[in-house]
Structure 1
Amino acid sequence: MKIKFLIRDLKVEGVQVVTLRMAKLLVDHGHDVEVVTLFEDIQLPLDGTVPIYTLAIQKSDNSKEKNKLINQAFLNWYHSSPSFDFLIASHSETIKLISKFNDPRLISYIHNSDEYSYLSRNIFKQYKYRFKLKRKLKNKHVFCVSDRINQFVKKCCGEQNLRSIHTIYNPFDFDSIQKKSKESILEPCPDNYIIFVGRIEKQKRLDRLVNAFSLLNNSNMQLMILGEGDLKADIQRQVNKLGLQKQVFFHDFVENPYPWIRKARLLALTSDFEGLPTVLIEALSIGTPVVSVDCPSGPSEILTGELSKYLINSYDEQVIAHKIQQVLEDSKEQISESGYLPFSNQQVYQRLLSTFNSL
């Protein structure tokens, strides 16, 4: 099959990482794949496996001008591009772009949940949100990265207004992750630490994690924040205010975070919302326990069965601190692979292929 992915750019962000991973999986199975970006921003390492084409749209501070440039560039590409069987749009900007075409080959792939913000709105704003989402997804095939997003979209749009809707998880090469996790860390690293890996932005609620960490009854425990983002200075000020400068460490993104995750006592996630938090699955696959709030969406689909002991049905910082303390006091048990196998390359590919064939 000829499959194209349409995304905003190739920055170091979750959607971009998993889009490249999905594209590579399809290439490995013999499909003709191309990733098309709106902008030229490329930060992710590329190995040449997946062809990349950029529309090279010039950025503009004027939103109307920017939207006009995006629409015209995509329209020109759409009418002149080589044939394809499916085009998958994975960002809100690109999902909006394809909404204007009544083409069954165009698929909207939703990677993040709006459920948290939706529930915080008044009735009028909820109606407005549902109206816009229904208009954007009407008569489209829709992929969702988790069952909970799937259910939320159906609730907002009405399943009858969609061509079809499917849950397609992010794929993981667990053999590769486990191999990379055994590489050495070639720089100073704490010995006894909890780790957060991700962007330092509002959604991730690092302020919640830092406050919970400050409540732990363990002065020898440290917190490693592995990531970058707009709120880094704010979190550093919070750390200083709480007097935790000697216990909380910041480190920029690294190309291979898995050795850092493997060495950690546990990985923590305290976000307001997610899509399918890949870092939870990666940590479990290399044997590191996790603690996660049950935010929409993903954690409750990952932490099932015996792994549900790592799930917190609360955003309360005291409750989070208690759960972290509890997991730290438990001996590090063997984590069963049955908990993360549904996200393996093989199982995700089979589901994706079956879905394409049904379309």
Structure 2
Amino acid sequence: MTQKNNIKVCIVVSSLGVGGAERSSAILSKMLVSLGYDVTIISILDDIVYDYKGNLINLESLTSAYRGLRKRWRKFIISRKLLSNNQFDYIIDAASRPLWFKQWFINTFVYQKTDTVFVVHNYNLNSYFPDNKVLGKYLYKNSYELVGVSKDSVIHFKEKYGLEQGRCIYNAFDEAHWDMLSKAKVDILEEPYILSYGRILDESKNYSFLIRTYAQSDLPKKGIKLFIVGDGPDKTKIQNLVKLCGIQEYIVFKEFLENPFPYVKHALFTTLTSNYEGFPMVLIESLAMRTPVVSVDCKSGPSEVIVTGKNGILVPFKDEQAYTEALNKMIEDQDFYKRCKEGTITSVCKFRIENIISEWQAILPCKR
């Protein structure tokens, strides 16, 4: 039985669905509850997919009768009342924060004097900081802690905004839960396939790069399909590019899946071609399923996980020829592929819950 420690923590999230940041926040709630923390989750949107623990406050559901400014005002009132009545020891703000004035208002009138940990989930700082460096530094000057999910992202925001605070705590993975999910019965492709999954937003995920390099590779002629799982505003654009490249018969599109793990587990390898990330959970999820990864060396995360020849291939950023060659090598060099597959699990041991949980415990000590 979990021993209660009487520390009350509120985790603020944009949602608990569709995305690595959302999945990692759900896992964080489970980690803290396992340590005895009293956890409440405030979800701004009504998108609850991932398994979590604690008391959930769904602001969108509670304000469904309102629209526009009245809805936003009701969310503010509910949040302020909740935080005031519960007297939380800590707030962990893991939501995106693209509007600096709105965030200043929340910091001042909702979070007030509660010790607040702000999580930065992306190397691209537009969703967390204003462009103005003075405003960015002012916005977080009184934060209890700033946590980045990769070393590169922490260095980036500290240097850009002249901040002294900032530490890296990697996203954790729930090995037992993911292993259980991977055993679900699903219709797996009969042909060998490689996999890409996530939100189809070309500006950040660069699916166009993936389609071009796959089309140029030897994989289609070898009958190895590309399985793309996910939804997003650029899905039609990518489907049109597939047609333009004449590779429709080799590409399989599937909508977003709450549980992608069976498909990850049975893939030859997964791909990542993003222009930027924070700490892409696709890498950890794949390696935890013993599936190697071919990834571009974007900022940030891949270089802190992928070691060429150990658990996949790390390709120079935006180098299409090198990426095409990497796709071919994973198929044609079976000894190389075998070494990569054998190194997957050991390469992510440090990201297991039991190795990350102490880092959160260290910054959320008992105050009583």
With normalisation by structure 1, the TM-score equals: 0.86
Q: What residue ranges of structure 1 are gaps of 5+ in the alignment?
A: 119-125
**1:302 equivalent in structure 2:** 305
**1:5 equivalent in structure 2:** 11
Q: Secondary structure at the match of 2:160?
A: helix
**1:194 equivalent in structure 2:** 194
Q: Which moved more, 1:69-78 or 1:247-256?
A: 69-78
Q: How much is the aligned-residue C-alpha RMSD, in angstroms?
A: 2.8
**1:83 equivalent in structure 2:** 87
User: Within 5 A, what are the aligned runs for 1:77-226?
Assistant: 77-79=82-84, 81-93=85-97, 96=103, 98-100=106-108, 103=113, 105-114=115-124, 128-140=131-143, 141-160=145-164, 164-185=165-186, 187=187, 189-202=189-202, 203-218=204-219, 219=221, 220-226=223-229
**1:34 equivalent in structure 2:** 40
**2:4 equivalent in structure 1:** none
Q: Secondary structure at the match of 1:246?
A: helix
**CA contact 1:38–1:57 (8 Å) conserved in 2:** no
Matched, 1:344 2:344: no
Where does structure 1 differ by over 4 angstroms across 4 or more consecutive aligned residues?
Answer: 57-62, 64-73
Q: Which moved more, 1:320-329 or 1:330-339?
A: 330-339
**CA contact 2:230–2:255 (8 Å) conserved in 1:** yes
Q: What is the CA–CA distance in structure 1 between the aligned matches of 2:346 and 2:106, rounded to whole Å? A: 37
Q: What is the CA–CA distance in structure 2 between the aligned matches of 1:330 and 1:175, rounded to whole Å? A: 32
User: Within 5 A, what are the aligned runs for 1:264-303?
Assistant: 264-303=267-306
**2:319 equivalent in structure 1:** 316
**CA contact 2:16–2:50 (8 Å) conserved in 1:** no
Q: What is the CA–CA distance in structure 2 between the aligned matches of 1:211 and 1:269, rounded to whole Å? A: 14
* TM-aligned CA deviation for residue 104 of structure 1: 5.2
With normalisation by structure 2, the TM-score equals: 0.84
* TM-aligned CA deviation for residue 70 of structure 1: 4.8
* TM-aligned CA deviation for residue 129 of structure 1: 3.8
Deviation per residue, 1:255-278 (Å, 9 max, x gap): 321121111111000001111111
Residue of 23, 30, 38 corresponding to 1:24 = 30
Q: What is the CA–CA distance in structure 2 between the aligned matches of 1:108 and 1:98, rounded to whole Å? A: 12
* One-letter identity of the residue aligned with 1:343: F
Q: 1:175 to 1:305 in 2, by over 3 A?
A: farther
* TM-aligned CA deviation for residue 45 of structure 1: 5.0
Q: Secondary structure at the match of 2:86?
A: coil
**CA contact 1:88–1:108 (8 Å) conserved in 2:** yes
**1:335 equivalent in structure 2:** 343
Q: What residue ranges of structure 2 are gaps of 5+ in the alignment?
A: 1-6
**CA contact 2:200–2:232 (8 Å) conserved in 1:** yes
* TM-aligned CA deviation for residue 305 of structure 1: 7.7
Matched, 1:233 2:236: yes
**CA contact 2:231–2:256 (8 Å) conserved in 1:** yes
Q: What is the CA–CA distance in structure 1 between the aligned matches of 2:148 and 2:188, rounded to whole Å? A: 40
* TM-aligned CA deviation for residue 130 of structure 1: 2.4
